[in-house]
Amino acid sequence: MTLCISQGHLKVYWLKTSVTASAGDHLRSGEVVMSANFDTRPNQTHGRRTSVPFPMLEVVILANLLLPLTGGVGATAQDIARPLTAEDYYDLQTISSPVISPDGAWVAYALVSRIEDDNSSPSEVWVARTDGSAGPRRISPAGVDAGQPSWAPDGFLRYVSGDRAFSVGADEEPGARAILREEALDVIPSPDGRIMASLRAVETPKSEPVYASDFERRHQNRFDGRAWDWMYFQRDRQPLPTVDPTDPTATPPREIVISGETGGPTRTLTHLGLRPNDLSWRPDSGVLAFVADSAYRDEWTYGRSDLWTVTTSGDVRRLTRDLRHSLSQPVFSPDGGRIAYIKRYATDWVIAERIGHGGPTDLMVMNVERGEVVNLTADWDLRPGAPRWGPDGRYLYFTAGIGGETHLFRVGANGTAVEQVTTGERRLGSLTMDRDLSKIAYLVGRFDAPSELFVANADGSDERQLTYVHAAFTREVALSQAERIRFPSYDGTEIEGWIIFPYDYNPDEGPYPLIVHSHGGPHSASGYGFNFKHQLFAANGYMVLQTNFRSSTGYGEDFLWATWGAWGDKDGEDVVSGLDYVLANYPTDGERVATIGHSYGGFMSNWLITRYPDRFQAAAVGA
């Protein structure tokens, strides 16, 4: 078997002269057994660049080797609903960017559609009352591509359409809107609503080339071509060449600027010549915290960021100079005296010191005046997300992956143990909190349905579903169920995975062909969430196996870094152990097994078919 990739198209050829796939079925040498088209074009939506919610993958199995079995089974709910088809991809909408209002009364979100004719993904902005007293409704004008909802401190909803921002009351009708100035697209309003902060690129004059001699000048003038002399001139899904990070005219520095609430002249606060990120206001509206990499133009480093502050009068203070760590996501405590932030090992330090692992991700709290720092998660083995202070400053809240789930956690600001707030077999995505932390809103990810929007009290109680965007679709289309499995790897390490059942699955029938999917990263994880591609495979009679092999997130530091310097060894054994477990416990056909994956999952698939060539009959990989 061999892979052939050309112009974004992948084919898998069988090179053996004759192989029996099943009774009466044979493959000829050179027969295509799997073909895949990967659309890597940038998506353009009404004149502005947007990201496609999911890479569109079309996979066609062309040989008898992997043809699923057919046959009747007992009556199930799937006898009423039809199986998923490829055309259904364009009927599904996606909820994104939910944000709860400061008073907790509303949730705004973007509703994204998919248009087949032009491959666009237009969106609308909708609002829903958190008490469920009224159904969700569109707040952006009909036919207008709008997104990026946010709430101003005064309770008005902001959203962006094209190169303009709009402000509207949540209870107003679409079209009853005020157009904000163009500079307001990416502003961060102060807590009192009187000051707008943003980042502005500093124009750098383009310098004329300097030649060592007249001969060099003549030679350069005759040169008919382009020279790319920066390291990362090529990146996946980016134009060739990429923007030169060493050229200040191509990647100019950015400075923090502020302006008044109603516009007017802006005032530059910083003059660092860097590119600040993660701006966060102090509650009294007098200081901004941010992070910046002082060596961001050095393409020979991986980059690391320190913690800084700047007052509204322009006094800049650098709070850290730690070459071992990179900091992000700063946020002030309610009293303004402390800053919480996320700390990770700096990659350059890991390499220089030959540490042998990537190090933990921790939630830190710094006393701004005294410089004292406390690690709140030193004894906690998972990876905290962006922190949010509770209203009284006693607790910090964050989300984190735990196995294939994502949940809300909290930790005492004085260093008490981490507590898990929400539970259940699901992933909470895009979690947002109101000003007083009385309510939270989030997307719920499940295997058998696209995400919907939910709201609950901050402790996870009194949960209610706010949207039913996919209700009609899931009544018409039978989406497959998944089952969590746990199995020992070759060395006894417990591995978690999921098996997605085929349409009309009957455990007394089969055997069914199996597709093994490996996630990318490798430091990510499969888990609870809707995957159209997997559901399409299941709709066509395939079992689908996902494994969280070693190096996956959500299982602790030792598990996360277990494959350091040896990709494919232990994690490959984990995947094959999962394959063995499924073959032993489910009606699957070991002679009809394929492996697929993108990025690290593509590497893993290539590793598996070379290390275990007798275990897989087909493969499809992507970058």
* DSSP result, 532-587: HHHHHHHHTT-EEEEEE-TT-SSS-HHHHTTTTT-TTSHHHHHHHHHHHHHHHHS-
Q: Residue 175: its pLDDT value, please?
A: 66
pLDDT of residue 150: 93
The residue-averaged pLDDT of 345-359 equals 92
Confidence of residue 227 (pLDDT cuts 50, 70, 90): confident
CA distance 38 to 538: 20
**Residue 64 pLDDT greater than 50, yes or no:** no
The pLDDT score that the predictor gives to residue 32 is: 39
Q: Give the pLDDT score at 184.
A: 61
Q: What is the CA radius of gyration of the chain?
A: 27
Q: Alpha-carbon distance 316 to 272, whole Å?
A: 9
> What's the pTM value of the predicted model, to 2 decimals?
0.83
Q: List Cβ neighbours of 221 (8 Å cut-off, separation of 6 or more).
A: none
Q: What is the mean pLDDT of residues 423-439?
A: 94
Residue closest to 482 by CA, chosen among 540, 408, 426: 426
Distance of CA 608 to the CA centre of its chain: 26
Nearest to 384 by CA among 352, 342, 349, 429: 342
Where do the domains of the chain lie?
2-90+474-622, 187-202+253-387
Using pLDDT thresholds of 50, 70 and 90, give the confidence band for residue 24. very low
Neighbours of 470 (CB within 10 A): 20
Q: How far apart are CA 92 and CA 533, in angstroms?
A: 13
What's the rounded mean pLDDT across residues 539-550?
Answer: 97
| Least confident window among 4-18, 115-129, 314-328, 335-349 | 4-18
Beta strands in 403-548 (DSSP E): 405-412, 419-420, 427-433, 439-446, 449-457, 464-465, 477-478, 482-488, 494-500, 512-518, 543-548
Contact 10, 619 (CB under 8 A): no
Residue-level pLDDT at 234: 82
> Which pLDDT band, with edges at 50, 70 and 90, does 177 fall under?
low
Question: Confidence class of residue 182 from pLDDT cuts 50, 70 and 90?
Answer: low
Quick one: which of 100, 206, 140 has its CA closest to 430?
A: 100
Q: Find tokens 């897989």 and name the residue.
A: 616
pLDDT, position 235: 79
Q: How confident is the model at residue 183 (pLDDT cuts 50, 70, 90)?
A: low
Place of tokens 């196995």: 403
Q: Is the pLDDT at 524 greater than 50, yes or no?
A: yes
Q: Identify which of 429, 391, 396, 330 has the alpha carbon closest to the alpha carbon of residue 99.
A: 429
**Contact partners, residue 293, CB within 8 Å, separation at least 6:** 274, 275, 303, 304, 305, 306
- Percentage with pLDDT > 90 across the chain: 68
Is 2-90+474-622 CATH 3.40.50? yes
pLDDT band at 181 (very low <50, low <70, confident <90, very high): low
Instruction: Quickly state the pLDDT bin for 319 (edges 50, 70, 90).
Output: very high
pLDDT at 164: 84
Q: Which pLDDT belongs to residue 10? A: 43
With a cut of 60, say whether residue 332 has pLDDT above it.
yes
- pLDDT exceeds 70 at position 397: yes
| Least confident segment among 51-55, 213-217, 530-534 | 51-55
- CATH annotation of 187-202+253-387: 2.120.10.30
Tokens of 213: 């001699």
In this predicted structure, which of 103-107, 256-260, 526-530, 591-595 has the lowest mean pLDDT? 256-260
